[in-house]
Structure 1
Amino acid sequence: MKTLSEFKSTFLLGGDLEINRMGYGAMRIAGPQLFGMPENPQNSIDVLQRAVELGVNFIDTADQYGPFYSEQLIAEALHPYRENIIIGTKGGLVRFGPWADINNDASPQHLQDALDGSLRRLKLEKIDLYQLHRIDPKVPAQISFEFLANAQHQGKIRHIGLSEVSIEEIKHAQQFFKVVSVQNRYSVLDRKWEEVLEYCKSEGIAFIPWFPIGGGMTPMTEKLQQLADHKEVSMHQLALSWLLHHADNILLIPGTSNVAHLEENLKATEIVLDESDLQILDSLTA
């Protein structure tokens, strides 16, 4: 029988930061459509503090969640940070309304403003993990990469990651700095980036799935629900558990603005999947 206990529960990010593989994504603590302050900021603060109480030590956010409010709430809830708390944030997008109204901007000037703003809002002198939110098609990637490498040299960033990238783009970035994480859309029902996951595994790079629950593919979702019912767990818990089993370099960042939902997500680490379970789940791919 293959169980989670046979897999590593932590991942060594960049060779020096030990991360619990079940983290927390702070995208949803902002207001509706990720815009503005939430109606009840205390709910967001409660979720962040409860996550840390339950052993989460990796929190993922971005300057454009809110925009800015997610980072502010993290600092309000957790600063001064415990010694082992690792905050990852992102820059390279700009928005003026709901999430659909968003544009790339990975120019050095914008990245400078974004990085300095994140440092200020998070009340940090150095960000443990700073990820380029998107490669900007209007800006040569080399220019964005050079800025990040210089910011790391200046001591503002400990480690650098990328989001929504191909293997070729990772290799390009590796010419300028050590890539320690890649954040691409991925789930048991959506494995478009499987080759990127495998490349990251071979390179010792953390792979951080966004939209880790998946969805939208009804026949496969029904099979996932059937197995979840059989194991007496939720479909979301089962999808998260599969990710933990699937590759040891996967870090999970399920997001929620509800404490009960947070606790449910974290219980995914307790689910035992045997070989027959894994065969069923592995087959649920388009």
Structure 2
Amino acid sequence: MASTARSDQLTALGTARPGGPGALAGRSVSRVGYGAMQLPRLDRDAAISLLRQAADLGVDHVDTAHFYGNGFANEVIAAALRPEDDVLVVSKVGAEPATGGRIPLRLAQRPEQLRAGVEDNLRSLELDRIPLVNLRRADHGPGLRAEGDQIVDLDDQLAVMTELRDEGKIGAIGLSSVSLDALRHALPAGIACVQNAYSLVSRDDEDLVRLCLAEGIAWVPYFPLGGAYAGLPKVTEEPAVVAAARTLGVSAAQVGLAWLLHHTPNTLLIPGTADAEHLRANVDAGAVTLDEATLAALGAVPSRSGDIETR
């Protein structure tokens, strides 16, 4: 047992796991992962280089989607990551690329669209099986709202996701942008992961976080620093966060990420960046220790809701 515990502290490349080991879809991963949404900002070579740096730093959990750059993020992940890296690739469905609109995606919630989305991800990731696929709903949190034929019953969506799992095309099912009641309803399907917008300054889903902890479900918050878009409060602008960063000699962003890791042991992070320096800073946030006084000061920061129109 001691040998197994020691091995969980290291990735397949022998690198210490940033943030320590966490559990996702039945395996150990580093608690600090990487979100691929910003990869399309880079050219192909730069994106591949950034992903290689992430793996070398101990990141072995990458979150992506075919609709990130219309397959670009997935394609560079397939090119950059090697089998010996043993990186757990997580994707999502529920939206699809769109051109000509104000935002580069539209909802794709119908069961046949979810199946097509999994097939798109399999093709662009060059995989026969995706270890975990998140169903991105459209009825909770910031983002697009379903209208017309995009208003789909959760049971119908879970049925096709379960079929895909039974067929071996996906390994596990996750949910994104879901309410507390929706998660409770979905539990019998076997949910491995929940991704909702959540940060120190936006903690409306606290009851959902606690349900995930009780059920052994990984909690993977997106927008972990709040306002990546207009309309959401920013963690890095909170006086208590700025004060803690100054005292600890780290950045405000690192304090915000470290708080999430301290908050619950089932929390995994997927901060995204297109910058190598920011990537290293995000990884280093896994080593930031917050004492009780700092945690109390941060816990007193009020939670505030915001709204945006895209993810």
Would the TM-score normalized by the shorter structure come out above 0.5? yes
Equivalent residue, structure 2, for 1:86 = 88
Distance in 2 (CA, whole Å) between partners of 1:199 and 1:30 is: 34
Q: Secondary structure at the match of 2:172?
A: strand
Per-residue displacement from partner, 1:59-118 (whole Å, max 9, x unpaired)?
A: 00112111211111111111x333631000001112313673533222122112111111
Equivalent residue, structure 1, for 2:258 = 241
Equivalent residue, structure 1, for 2:198 = 186
Residues 82 and 67 (structure 1), Cα distance of their counterparts in 2 relative to 1, 3 Å cut = same
Equivalent residue, structure 1, for 2:52 = 49
Q: Is the 8 A contact 1:107 1:144 kept in 2?
A: yes
Equivalent residue, structure 2, for 1:63 = 66
Q: Secondary structure at the match of 1:87?
A: strand
Q: Which moved more, 1:186-195 or 1:215-224?
A: 215-224
Equivalent residue, structure 1, for 2:166 = 153
Q: Secondary structure at the match of 1:11?
A: strand
Q: Secondary structure at the match of 1:233?
A: coil
State TM-score, norm by structure 1: 0.89
Residues 99 and 264 (structure 1), Cα distance of their counterparts in 2 relative to 1, 3 Å cut = farther
1:74 equivalent in alignment to 2:77: yes
Residues 267 and 94 (structure 1), Cα distance of their counterparts in 2 relative to 1, 3 Å cut = same
Q: Secondary structure at the match of 1:19?
A: strand
Equivalent residue, structure 2, for 1:26 = 36
Amino acid at match of 2:92: K
1:199 equivalent in alignment to 2:238: no
Runs (5+) with no aligned partner, structure 2: 1-18, 139-145, 304-311
Aligned positions of 1:203-214 closer than 5 A: 203-214=215-226
Equivalent residue, structure 2, for 1:172 = 185
1:264 equivalent in alignment to 2:281: yes
Equivalent residue, structure 1, for 2:98 = 96
Deviation of residue 218 (structure 1)? Answer: 7.0
State TM-score, norm by structure 2: 0.82
Runs (5+) with no aligned partner, structure 1: 1-7, 32-37
Residues 143 and 210 (structure 1), Cα distance of their counterparts in 2 relative to 1, 3 Å cut = same
1:108 equivalent in alignment to 2:91: no
Equivalent residue, structure 1, for 2:15 = none
Q: Is the 8 A contact 1:61 1:70 kept in 2?
A: yes
Calculate percent identity across the aligned residue pairs.
33
Per-residue displacement from partner, 1:141-183 (whole Å, max 9, x unpaired)?
A: 21111000000000011111000111211122223x2101000
Residues 167 and 134 (structure 1), Cα distance of their counterparts in 2 relative to 1, 3 Å cut = same
1:280 equivalent in alignment to 2:292: no
Q: Is the 8 A contact 2:55 2:85 kept in 1?
A: no
Q: Is the 8 A contact 2:175 2:194 kept in 1?
A: yes
Distance in 2 (CA, whole Å) between partners of 1:206 and 1:110 is: 25
Distance in 1 (CA, whole Å) between partners of 2:69 and 2:291 is: 41
Give the root-mean-square deviation of aligned CA atoms: 1.8
